[in-house]
Structure 1
Amino acid sequence: MRGADYLIKTLKDHQVDTVFGYPGGAIMPVYDALLGSGVKHVLCRHEQGAVFAADGYARSSGRLGVCIATSGPGATNLITGIANAQMDSVPLLAITGQVASNLIGTDAFQEIDTYGLSLSVVKHSYLVTRIEDLPRMLNEAIQLAQSGRPGPVLVDIAKDVQMATMPATTLAFCDDLRPKDLATTNVAMNSAALHSAAELLASSKQPLIYAGGGVGLSKASELLTALVDQFKVPTVTTLKGIGALPSSHPYNLGMLGMHGTKAANTAVQECDVLLVAGARLDDRATGDLKQFAPNAKVIHIDCDQAEISKLRLADVSLLGDMPSILTSLMNAMSHGYKHETAHQWRYRCLQNKEQLGFRYDAPFSGIYAPALLKSLSEKCQQRQAIVACDVGQHQMWVAQHMQFNSSSHHLSSGGLGAMGYGLPAALGAKFANPDRTVITVSGDGSIMMNIQELATLKRYSIAVKILLLDNQRLGMVRQWQNLFFEKRFSEVDLSDNPDFVEIAHAFGVRSTSINQSSQIDTALDEFLSSEESYLLHVSIDPDDNVWPLVPPGKSNSDYIEENPTESSSSSKIPEHKRPEEATQ
Structure 2
Amino acid sequence: MITVEEKIARRQRAIEGRPFGPGSKTEHEGKTMTGAQAIIACLEAEGVDTIFGYPGGQAIKIYDALYDSKKIRHVLARHEQGATHMADGYARATGKVGVVLVTSGPGATNTVTGIATAYMDSVPMVVITGQVTRGVIGTDAFQESDIVGITMPIVKHSFLLQSTDELTKTFREAFYIASTGRPGPVLIDIPSDLSGSEMVFHYPDSVDIPSYRPTYKGNAKQVKQAAELICQAERPLIMAGGGIVASHACPELVALAERMQIPVVTTLMGKAAIPCSNPLNLGPVGMHGSKYANMAVTESDLIIACGARFSDRVTGKVDEFAPHAKIIHIDIDPAEIGKIINPNVPIVGDVKVVLSAINERLEKMGATSVCEKWRDEVFSWRERWPFYTSDFADYPDKIAPEVLLETLSDKLDPHASIVTTEVGQHQMWALQNIHREHARTFISSGGLGTMGFGFPAAIGAKIGCPDEQVVCIAGDGSFQMNSQEMATAKINDVPVKVLIIDNRALGMVHQWQHLFYNDRFSFTELADNPDFVKLADAYGWRARRITKPEEVNDALDEMLASDEPYLLDVVIPAAQTVYPMVAPGAPIDDIIGALDVTLGGVRVTEKGFGEAGRPRVKPSHEGVDE
Which category describes the TM-score, using the shorter chain as reference length? over 0.9
Residue 388 of structure 1 aligns with which residue?
A: 420
Matches within 5 A, 1:471-486: 471-486=503-518
Question: Structure 1 residue 324 and structure 2 residue 375: aligned?
Answer: no
Matches within 5 A, 1:197-212: 197-212=226-241
Residue 69 of structure 1 aligns with which residue?
A: 102
- Among 390, 407, 413, the alignment partner of 1:360 is 390
Give the superposition deviation at 1:184: 4.0
Question: Structure 1 residue 17 and structure 2 residue 49: aligned?
Answer: yes
Distance 1:372 1:532 in 2: 22
Matched residue type, 1:178: S
Residue 178 of structure 1 aligns with which residue?
A: 206
Residue 517 of structure 1 aligns with which residue?
A: 549
Give the superposition deviation at 1:568: 4.6
Question: Structure 1 residue 220 and structure 2 residue 253: aligned?
Answer: no
Distance 2:416 2:382 in 1: 24
Is residue 123–residue 185 contact of structure 2 (8 Å, CA) maintained in 1?
A: yes
Distance 1:188 1:539 in 2: 50
Is residue 83–residue 456 contact of structure 2 (8 Å, CA) maintained in 1?
A: yes
Residue 51 of structure 1 aligns with which residue?
A: 84
Matched residue type, 2:449: G
Residue 42 of structure 1 aligns with which residue?
A: 75
- Among 179, 193, 196, the alignment partner of 1:146 is 179
Residue 419 of structure 1 aligns with which residue?
A: 451
Is residue 544–residue 569 contact of structure 1 (8 Å, CA) maintained in 2?
A: no
Give the superposition deviation at 1:485: 1.6
- Closer/same/farther in 2, CA of residues 459 and 160 from structure 1, 3 Å limit: same
Is residue 202–residue 337 contact of structure 1 (8 Å, CA) maintained in 2?
A: no
Matched residue type, 2:148: Y
Residue 533 of structure 1 aligns with which residue?
A: 565
Query: What's the Cα RMSD here?
Result: 1.5
- Closer/same/farther in 2, CA of residues 570 and 255 from structure 1, 3 Å limit: farther
- Closer/same/farther in 2, CA of residues 485 and 279 from structure 1, 3 Å limit: same
Question: Structure 1 residue 341 and structure 2 residue 370: aligned?
Answer: yes
Distance 1:360 1:269 in 2: 28
Distance 2:350 2:274 in 1: 18
Distance 2:298 2:204 in 1: 54
User: Which deviates further from its counterpart, 281-290 or 334-343?
Assistant: 334-343
- Closer/same/farther in 2, CA of residues 232 and 75 from structure 1, 3 Å limit: same
1:341 aligns to what SS in structure 2? coil
Residue 294 of structure 2 aligns with which residue?
A: 265
Q: TM-score, normalised by structure 1?
A: 0.95
Residue 164 of structure 1 aligns with which residue?
A: 197
Distance 1:398 1:117 in 2: 34
- Among 61, 80, 85, the alignment partner of 1:29 is 61
Residue 372 of structure 1 aligns with which residue?
A: 404
Give the superposition deviation at 1:137: 1.4
Give the superposition deviation at 1:133: 1.8
2:99 aligns to what SS in structure 1? strand
| 1:116-148 deviation per Cα after TM superposition (whole angstroms, max 9, x unaligned) | 001000000110122112122121111100011
2:178 aligns to what SS in structure 1? helix
Is residue 364–residue 571 contact of structure 1 (8 Å, CA) maintained in 2?
A: no
- Among 408, 415, 430, the alignment partner of 2:440 is 408
Give the superposition deviation at 1:452: 0.2
Matched residue type, 2:89: G
- Closer/same/farther in 2, CA of residues 175 and 23 from structure 1, 3 Å limit: closer
Give the superposition deviation at 1:519: 0.6
| 1:52-107 deviation per Cα after TM superposition (whole angstroms, max 9, x unaligned) | 00000000000010011100000000000000000000000000000000010111
Give the superposition deviation at 1:350: 1.0
| 1:366-395 deviation per Cα after TM superposition (whole angstroms, max 9, x unaligned) | 100011000100111355310110000000
Give the superposition deviation at 1:360: 3.3
Is residue 169–residue 203 contact of structure 2 (8 Å, CA) maintained in 1?
A: no
Residue 487 of structure 1 aligns with which residue?
A: 519
Matches within 5 A, 1:119-130: 119-130=152-163
Is residue 454–residue 473 contact of structure 2 (8 Å, CA) maintained in 1?
A: yes
1:298 aligns to what SS in structure 2? strand
Matched residue type, 1:493: E
Give the superposition deviation at 1:574: 2.5
Q: Percent of counterpart pairs with the same letter?
A: 45
Distance 2:206 2:483 in 1: 41
Is residue 366–residue 571 contact of structure 1 (8 Å, CA) maintained in 2?
A: no
| 1:518-538 deviation per Cα after TM superposition (whole angstroms, max 9, x unaligned) | 011111111111111110000
Is residue 540–residue 573 contact of structure 1 (8 Å, CA) maintained in 2?
A: no
Give the superposition deviation at 1:239: 0.3
Matched residue type, 2:491: R
Give the superposition deviation at 1:407: 2.8
Matches within 5 A, 1:83-162: 83-162=116-195
- Among 538, 559, 562, the alignment partner of 1:506 is 538
- Closer/same/farther in 2, CA of residues 570 and 220 from structure 1, 3 Å limit: farther
| 1:425-465 deviation per Cα after TM superposition (whole angstroms, max 9, x unaligned) | 00000000001100001011001100000000110111101
Matched residue type, 2:156: K
- Closer/same/farther in 2, CA of residues 568 and 153 from structure 1, 3 Å limit: closer
| 1:160-181 deviation per Cα after TM superposition (whole angstroms, max 9, x unaligned) | 0111111x4xx3xx24453213
Distance 1:127 1:568 in 2: 54
User: Which deviates further from its counterpart, 80-89 or 381-390?
Assistant: 381-390
Distance 2:94 2:62 in 1: 25
Residue 609 of structure 2 aligns with which residue?
A: none
User: Which deviates further from its counterpart, 471-480 or 350-359?
Assistant: 350-359
1:179 aligns to what SS in structure 2? coil
1:453 aligns to what SS in structure 2? helix
Is residue 22–residue 68 contact of structure 1 (8 Å, CA) maintained in 2?
A: yes
Distance 1:340 1:19 in 2: 48
Give the superposition deviation at 1:266: 0.3
User: Which deviates further from its counterpart, 327-336 or 239-248?
Assistant: 327-336
Is residue 285–residue 314 contact of structure 2 (8 Å, CA) maintained in 1?
A: yes
2:480 aligns to what SS in structure 1? helix
Is residue 582–residue 591 contact of structure 2 (8 Å, CA) maintained in 1?
A: yes
Residue 578 of structure 1 aligns with which residue?
A: none
Is residue 173–residue 207 contact of structure 2 (8 Å, CA) maintained in 1?
A: yes
User: Which deviates further from its counterpart, 1-10 or 335-344?
Assistant: 335-344
Give the superposition deviation at 1:365: 2.0
1:431 aligns to what SS in structure 2? helix
1:153 aligns to what SS in structure 2? strand
Residue ranges of structure 1 left out of the alignment (5+ in a row): 576-584
Give the superposition deviation at 1:573: 5.7
Residue 558 of structure 1 aligns with which residue?
A: 590
Distance 1:546 1:191 in 2: 44
Q: How many residues align?
A: 570
Distance 2:366 2:286 in 1: 29
Residue 581 of structure 1 aligns with which residue?
A: none
Give the superposition deviation at 1:569: 4.0
- Closer/same/farther in 2, CA of residues 552 and 175 from structure 1, 3 Å limit: closer
Is residue 218–residue 350 contact of structure 2 (8 Å, CA) maintained in 1?
A: no
